[in-house]
Amino acid sequence: MKKARKKNKIYSLMFKLLAILSMREHHLGYRETVRTFWLTHSRAAEDLYVTTLKRWNRIFSEEGEQGLMKEHKGSKKNDGLNNSRTKSIEFVNEDVYAENERLRAENDYLKKLDALVREREEREKRKKPE
């Protein structure tokens, strides 16, 4: 019995840049970055995201921000709708989607930071018996 093929997720330029620039700015490894930006439930899923992040990082290093905007192998092509109204709607949708992705990433980051701070405070409470 064949498995149904899962459709590839399309990420916004803002999400890609946020992931790559955060990784570089905070000197994170690929796996640490994946754990920050994606909720993974298995090592196999994490490996797939690591591969994706490596590809984005290579493209960004070679071609810059413009390279991440290009469609790369396996990506969907324009379906022939070229009128200006459709394009403006697509740009608005892209902006909303990008903002949503950025806010999700920021929310995940803050949740993890809060958990780390709480963990540290708990450890300090255990060290200081009153």
Q: What pLDDT, on the 0 to 100 scale, is given for residue 77? A: 45
More confident residue, 55 or 8: 55
71 pLDDT exceeds 70? no
Calculate the alpha carbon distances from 126 to 122, 123, 130 in Å.
6, 5, 10
C-alpha–C-alpha distance, residues 13 and 19, integer Å? 10
Q: Where are the alpha helices (DSSP H) in the chain?
A: 13-25, 30-37, 43-63, 65-69, 84-127
Find the Cα–Cα–Cα–Cα dihedral 83, 85, 91, 96, rounded to 10°: -150
- Give the total residue count for the chain: 130
pLDDT value at 74 more than 70: no
